[in-house]
Every structure is written in structure tokens, then in C-alpha cells.
Structure 1
Amino acid sequence: MKASRRPLLVAGFAVIAAGALALSGCSGNSGGSNGQSSGDDSHGPITFVQGKDNNNLIRPIIDEWNSKHPKEKVTFKEQSDNADQQHDDLVQHFQAKSTDYDVVAVDVIWTAEFAAKGWLAPLKGDLKLDTSKMLPATVKAGTYGGTLYTAPWVTDGGLLYYRTDLIKTPPTTWDEMMKDCSIAKAHNIGCYAGQYADYEGLTVNVAEAINSAGGTIVGKDGKTPTLDTPEAKKGLEAIVDAFKDGNIPAAAQTYQEEQGRQAFEAGQLLFHRNWPYIYSLASTDGSSKVKGKFAVAPLPGVDGPGASSLGGHNIAVSAYSKHKGTAVDFIKFMETEEIQRQAVTKASNAPALASLYDDPELNKQLPYLSTLKKSLDTAVPRPVSPFYPAITKAIEDDSFAAIKGTTSVDDALSDMQKAIKTAGAGS
């Protein structure tokens, strides 16, 4: 899935870059701890809200539910396809303690913010879910303060795309990939690019570099910065040095997901970091010059495969829902193998259900699934923090300055450290 705060596109076998979900519902108010309403065992009509249903996946699913539950019908509210607008819409309804939203889709980077403010019902007690069959990373992404607040639904991870006509074996480490850049130079093309424009995608790429080098951005409390380490420096320095020596072309400073995809499809890159959604586009676009000439591998790390940043959307119960019993039953329905399989085959959403990644039929249709699972097995959520917007702004602004060469890596990390510490102190 593309980095948040951008319109989300769906195309072909777009794993979850497409149609990123943001669900919602209708129901109750009043009472309860943390501002929650009562009704954990209450059943009745609910509303389900998510982003634009580009693949017409959700409506038939809701029709199926409604045919089996005539007294607990689900109404679908479709938001826009813009992640910022989805987030703001949810915030407005939560702040108003609106009873209009019961089940909501939550970008993985919003979980801590919403949970810390008491807007999501904790999925425990009467609302407890069995997550034992879900990918561990998706469960971790839905957990805040040791409690599950959002249920795994669709996920995403970064992949390394590489030219099979130029490279026989993909690199497993960053250093190996940098050595292979001589091949790119020999063919007069760029070596590697990810998403390095000054936006959320830069946070994704920088987090991957730092995590892959063994570092972290914040501690387990979600507020204490941990960027003053050799590992964090090694991660950011790898990106900055690659720009300096031209292994990452200067043009990549303007790349979001689509610009990078277009460069790779045009045959201008040997390696490219992106989400799974571009696999089918590069395979089917009439203008693609790499059709049949590329494959995917896990992102490279220091001593082996690196750590992808986790993408995706989970689904949650609004703290103000009057019919939480129905809301959690609907979530359980959405997590069944039947529905998860529909999400894969119809919308190419990467499932949270682990077993589907080993399904022979699905792997035949979506050849990258097995590699994606390896990526997700080692994926790391972006900082789980109730003030994530302040953290990502610090990472974006300061790392972009280091990439441009207007500040040093040491100063960039120091500035990030101070900004995150300040944000945490004011939380």
C-alpha cells in the first residue's frame, strides 16, 4: 500500500496500494471508561465506513452479511480515496462522540493516536478476537499499550524489484546491491530508487533503512527517541551516501510511489523499492519496457534481508458504537478465510491471514505472494505513538535535508531526536 496521506490507487493485482480502506459505522454514545459507551454485547444495525471501494469488493461482502443477518444489517458509508480526508473524517466523528460510526478502517499508523484518545473499543473481554492465525506483524500493528485495538484486515510490505535480464541473483544485503550498481552504470541506467520525496513515503524508506541496520526510531513507550545510536546513523547514512555517489539518482528526490514505478517500467532503474501493487502494472502496462524482465525479492539489509515498514489498514470498533456485539461479529466475518480470499482475488489486497500466502492457486495468480510473506514476517510497524504526525514530520524534514546535502547525517538525526523528544514531552 502506498504511504499514507496520499490518494490510494488500485490497479490489477494491486496488493493494497489500491483501495486503502477506512471503515466506519453507526451507533451509540454515553457511559463507560475512557469515554466508551456501553453495549459490548448489544446487537443491532451498524454502519461500516471505509475509503473508496474501487474494486467493488465491500458491497457484495456486506450484501452477503445482510442476507444472513436481517436484524443486524450493515450500512456502507464510502469515504474518499484520499488518506488525509479519511483520517480527518474519522477524527471529526470521534471528537463529536458520534454514534454514526460503528466499524472503522484504521491505517496502521493511526492506531496509537486513536487508541490513546479513547476512540476505539479495546478488543478484549466480550469483544476479544482470535488472532492466532494472523500474521504476527499485523497483530502487532493493531496493538497499543499491550492491548489489541484494531483487528488485522489487509496488510502490505515493501519489495525489491530487480531486472532479471541484467541480474541473475538478487542482492540480499545493501552492500551487495551497491556493488551491483556497476552493472547499472554499464547499461547507462540508474541503479536504485525508493520513495525519497518529502512526504510520508520518505518516513517509510528511512524507517526501513534504520530498522534494517538494527536501529529504532522511538522506544517501546512510543515517545522516547532512540536515534542517537550507531545503528540509526548507519541506516540514514546508507541512503545519503548512495545519493552522493549517484547509486541513487538525484531525480529520486522527487519520487513518490508512482514516479518510481514509472521510472522502473521505463527501464531506467536496475533496482526499485515499492509496494506489491506495481507488480501487475509493470507486467501488463502497454508502455512497460520491463515486462517479463523483472522479479521481486525481500528488501536488502546489513547481513541479509532487511526489515520492511508495515503498511495496510486494520478494522476497529468505535468506542461510541451502541451495537458493539454486532460490530465485533462483523469484524470476525471480515476475517474469515472466505472473505480474505475474496479480498485477495478481487482487489489484490494482501491478506492478514497467514495461510493464504502458501496457497498454490493464489501463488499462481499472484507470483509475488510467497516473497511478500517473507517481507511481512520481518516487517516493522512505523513508530507506534499517539503523536505519530509529529514524528513523521521530523523524519521527513530532517532526512530530506540530509539527502539534499543541506545538513549532515549527524545533525539530521540530532534534530529528529530533539523534535520527537519535544513532541513526547508535550503529549
Structure 2
Amino acid sequence: MKTQYRKKINVCLLCIVLAVTVLTGCSGGPSPGEPGGDAPVTVTVWYSLQGQQEQALLKQFARINNEFPEVRVKSEKFSESGFVQRVYNYQAGGEGPEIIIARRQILFSIYEKGMISPVLADTESLYPSAKAVFIFNKQAFAASWLTDVPLLYYRTDRIKTAPASITDIIEKKGIIAASTASLDLLSPWWIAEGGMLSANGVPALDSAANLTFFNKINGLKKEGRLVVDNTAWDKFKEGEIPYLLALGSDMEKISALSKNTDCIALYTLLGDKGQPLLSNTIGIANSLIKTVPEMESAIRLVEEELITSTSEQEAFSAVAGLPAASDYYTAAAQPSRFQAEVGVSLQNAFYLEGSRYDWKYYQLLADAWTNINSGANTANELRRVQEAAVKVNDQIQK
């Protein structure tokens, strides 16, 4: 009887041990990054940003590391000079980062070298034109993080009624100040006036519309209707000039000049035709060779955390750029005037996919406009860059 009793006890103990083992196995134990759990997955990020943009980015990395113990973001900064070649060299040796964050131009060069794969992040929250910037062959190879659009700021203590249009300002002898007359800043105006980069797949930088627009801007400068110099902001601050053409990311600095400041989208001022070109966009991409199945979840988490509206709002607060995600502009029950005007601009921004050759033509045209601003002949500059664009097009077609 004692032997049978011991056997029953042993069986019961064995059942208890098995039950505990099963339960422990089902619970999975501590999660990665937690005490007793596996080490967190390290996601290496290379970036080429600096100043306020870099500080905004580092703040987000610290937040992600704090809120998600299962991942650890390890960031490394490199200058834009040599950045593309560095990525190429490391990937050739099977090394390098999982995620790359840089300006549009840098990411375009990295894509052309075949060093990034389709982005893992869900990009549906991005405005269509912001998403399009990094679409190549119908696939998104990066997610837009921050971008920028020009706005017209005005002094409400000098201008009692918001301007109806750019034409209205000019006809009433109004004066607009700007610290620069770059094509990035003028892009909505240029597009509204029929500006073009190509027609039927052929470069059209020397088009009559481009010539007419550049001559018009130069004419306004000569007439004193458009004042372009490095004292523009001071003149706006003193109320000497009531209108200021500047980027949306300048809003907080401009508001600090005068509390009597408001803004309006160029899209509205140009008869719903002023579509900004999102050339000043920072993107987030993932490496071709480091995007492997066991890393995809961690990479996606970091990318999507960066493009959330909360993350981008914090970046904007650091005057780093404008959020590319629509939630920031639409989620608020009562969006601010600034949010509304930027939202209108981004919703109606010029749609240009990354794979379009027009981006190369745009850079040529922007360079020509810089030379024109420095005194070069407009027609000659447009002919020069048209010839360069044709050569680019011929090389691509081969």
C-alpha cells in the first residue's frame, strides 16, 4: 500500500511539473529587452542631417528606445559629402545600416546605386504628393518624414483684409519681401504660370512659359514689387514691407518677429493653381542587404514611429521641417490657421514620382535660375540647361 501511495504522489508531482512547464512555455517568458529576456534587436541608422533636424531626429531615437525595449536604435551621423559612397562601400562588404535617413537628393543617388529596398513602413498616412517623391517603378522606396512648402506671411496690423490673390497684391502696388528668390520658394507661382519641365517625355526647360515667368519675376524685382535681399525679414519685422514670402518651416521664427502675423497658402492666392513642388523632403529608407526577414519587424517599427504625426509634430516644434503625414493637419478638432494653410498646400502639391526624369530637369532649371538671379541672360541660360537636359535624357534612353 505504501508503494502504491508513493507512486500516486510521484505521478501527481510529475503532473504538476509538466503543467508548470507548459504554462511557462505558453507565456513565452520575458519579452526581448526586459529583465531575463533576450537582448533587444539593434537597428542601426545612418543619417546625414544636422542642426535642428539632427536634434529632432535624435530626440525621436531616444523616445523609441525608451518606449520599445525590444529594439535599440543605434545612430551614426555622416556628412553628405561621401555619404552615398560610404553606404555603397559598406553594403558591398555585407555591412552598413538597416535604415538610412537623408535629403531627397541623397536618397535618389542611393536608390540609383541599387542600395535600398522597398520601404517597410506603411506610408498611407502621407499626403499623396509626399508619398510620390520616393516612388520608383510603382513602389515606395522611402517614406517622407519632413518636407516644406512656401507660404505668404502678412502683417495683420498693416493689412486689414487677407489678400485675395498675388495679382491683387501687385495691382494694389503691394510689396512682397523674400530673403531669397530660389525656385523652391517660387515653385507654386512658377507652376501656376504654366512653368514646365518636360512635354510628352521630352525636356522643355527652354519653353516660352519658363522664359515668360522668369522675365516676369525679374520685372517685379526691378519695379520694387518683389524685394529680394537679406534684410527682408527685418523689413517685415518693422512693418516696412507687409508681405513676406518664406517657407512654412520658418513660421515660428517669423511669428517671433511680430505677434501680428498670419499666413496664406500660395495655392489659394494663385487661383487654386499654385502647386508647390516638394523638393525639400527628407526621407527614411531601409537597406537592401540588411532588410532580412528576422529584422523586418524591428525596422518597420522604427520607421513607422518616425513618421507618426506625434513624432513629426515634435520635429516641427524644433523648426526642423513640416510633417509629411496628413494626420497632423487633419486630426485636430480645430486646426490652427497655419495647419490649415499648410494642409491645403500639401494636399494640392505637385505630384511627381521619384522615377520621373523631371527631377533631374528640375535641378538643372533651379541652377539656371540661380545664375539668372546673379545676372546671367535668361534666354541663354534656358538654352544651356535645355541642351544639358537633352543629353541627360539621351543617356537615360540608352
**Fold conserved (TM > 0.5)?**
yes
SS of 2:148 mapped into structure 1: strand
SS of 1:215 mapped into structure 2: coil
Change in 2 beyond 3 A, CA 1:374/1:420: same
Q: For 1:59-78, what per-residue CA distance to the aligned partner results, in whole angstroms no more than 9, with x for missing partners?
A: 45334433565554210223
Q: For 1:273-319, what per-residue CA distance to the aligned partner results, in whole angstroms no more than 9, with x for missing partners?
A: 211233222332xxx3xx12321111166534512232331211122
Q: For 1:74-122, what per-residue CA distance to the aligned partner results, in whole angstroms no more than 9, with x for missing partners?
A: 102234xxxxx33x34312223143222211132344433322212212
Q: Which residue of 2 aligns with 1:298?
A: 265
Q: For 1:151-176, what per-residue CA distance to the aligned partner results, in whole angstroms no more than 9, with x for missing partners?
A: 12222211111222232333343322
Q: Which moved more, 1:97-106 or 1:164-173?
A: 164-173
Q: Which residue of 1 aligns with 2:14?
A: none
Say which of 381, 384, 387 aligns to 1:415. 384
Return the letter of the residue paired with 1:328. R
Structure 2: distance between partners of 1:176 and 1:194: 22
Q: Report the Cα offset of residue 349 of structure 1.
A: 4.3
Aligned-pair identity (%): 17
Superposition RMSD in Å? 3.3
Structure 2: distance between partners of 1:219 and 1:117: 27
Return the letter of the residue paired with 2:369. S
Structure 2: distance between partners of 1:121 and 1:161: 40
Map 1:27-66 to 2 at 5 A: 44-50=41-47, 51-52=49-50, 54=52, 56-66=55-65
SS of 2:130 mapped into structure 1: helix
Say which of 198, 211, 215 aligns to 2:191. 211
Return the letter of the residue paired with 1:114. I
SS of 1:292 mapped into structure 2: coil
**Unmatched 5+ residue regions in structure 2?**
1-39
Comparing both chains, which one has the higher relative contact order based on Cα–Cα distances under 8 Å and sequence gaps of 6 or more?
1
- Tell which structure's C-alpha radius of gyration is larger: 2
Say which of 67, 75, 95 aligns to 2:88. 95
Q: Which residue of 2 aligns with 1:247?
A: 225
1:332 aligns with 2:332: no
Contact 1:161–1:295, Cα closer than 8 Å, also in 2: yes
Structure 1: distance between partners of 2:164 and 2:387: 34
Map 1:239-318 to 2 at 5 A: 239-249=217-227, 252=228, 255=230, 260-284=232-256, 288=257, 291-299=258-266, 302-304=270-272, 306-310=274-278, 311-318=280-287
Map 1:97-176 to 2 at 5 A: 97-98=90-91, 99-123=95-119, 127=120, 129-176=121-168
SS of 1:204 mapped into structure 2: helix
Q: For 1:151-207, what per-residue CA distance to the aligned partner results, in whole angstroms no more than 9, with x for missing partners?
A: 122222111112222323333433223113x244xxxxxx343623xxxxx231354
SS of 1:45 mapped into structure 2: strand
SS of 1:277 mapped into structure 2: helix
Map 1:64-103 to 2 at 5 A: 64-67=63-66, 70=69, 72-79=71-78, 85-86=79-80, 88-98=81-91, 99-103=95-99
- TM (norm. structure 1) is 0.70
Structure 2: distance between partners of 1:160 and 1:246: 17
Structure 1: distance between partners of 2:236 and 2:352: 26
Structure 2: distance between partners of 1:293 and 1:261: 14
Aligned residues: 347
Q: Report the Cα offset of residue 219 of structure 1.
A: 5.7
Contact 1:120–1:318, Cα closer than 8 Å, also in 2: yes
Q: Which residue of 2 aligns with 1:37?
A: none
- TM (norm. structure 2) is 0.74
SS of 1:240 mapped into structure 2: helix
Return the letter of the residue paired with 1:281. K
**Unmatched 5+ residue regions in structure 1?**
1-42, 80-84, 185-190, 197-201
Structure 1: distance between partners of 2:144 and 2:299: 15
More helix per residue: 1 or 2?
2
Q: Which residue of 2 aligns with 1:375?
A: 345
Structure 2: distance between partners of 1:388 and 1:328: 30
Contact 1:172–1:305, Cα closer than 8 Å, also in 2: no
Change in 2 beyond 3 A, CA 1:68/1:237: same
Q: Report the Cα offset of residue 386 of structure 1.
A: 8.4
